[in-house]
C-alpha cells in the first residue's frame, strides 16, 4: 500500500516528466488528433503515450529498507527510460527470473 502511494507521487515528479519529454517525438501518421509519439528506448519504435511506461534501469524491487526503496524510486534521470509495454513486460520478466534465481 505504501509502495503504491509512493509510486503515484513519483509519477507526478519533475524527473518522471523530464524522461517522458526526452522520449517525445513529433507524430507522423493518419490520426489527426495525435500530435506526439514516444520512442521506446529498447526497440526504438514509436508509440502513443498510453502504450509506453517509465522504467527504472536499475530495478527498484530489490530493496531491503524503505529508505532504499524511496532512494531507488526517486532516482536520477540517468536511471530511467521510456519503454513500450511489450519491452517493459519482457524486461520485468527477466528481472523477476533473476530475483527468483538469487533466492535459491
Confidence of residue 99 (pLDDT cuts 50, 70, 90): confident
pLDDT over threshold 80, residue 104: no
Task: Give the HSE-up count for residue 93: Cα atoms under 13 Å, Cβ half-sphere.
Answer: 6
pTM: 0.84
Q: Which domain holds residue 99?
A: 2-103
pLDDT over threshold 80, residue 103: no
| 2-56: pLDDT as tens digits | 778 888 988 899 999 999 999 999 998 888 888 999 999 999 999 999 999 999 9
Domain count, the chain: 1
Confidence of residue 81 (pLDDT cuts 50, 70, 90): very high
Amino acid at each position: 500500500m505504501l509502495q503504491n502511494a509512493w509510486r503515484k507521487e513519483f509519477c507526478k515528479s519533475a524527473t518522471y516528466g523530464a524522461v517522458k519529454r526526452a522520449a517525445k517525438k513529433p507524430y507522423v501518421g493518419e490520426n489527426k488528433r495525435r500530435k506526439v509519439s514516444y520512442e521506446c528506448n529498447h526497440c526504438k519504435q514509436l508509440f502513443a503515450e498510453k502504450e509506453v511506461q517509465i522504467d527504472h534501469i536499475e530495478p527498484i524491487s530489490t530493496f531491503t529498507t524503505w529508505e532504499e526503496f524511496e532512494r531507488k524510486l526517486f532516482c536520477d534521470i540517468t536511471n530511467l527510460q521510456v519503454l513500450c509495454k511489450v519491452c517493459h513486460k519482457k524486461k520485468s520478466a527477466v528481472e523477476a527470473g533473476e530475483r527468483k534465481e538469487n533466492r535459491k
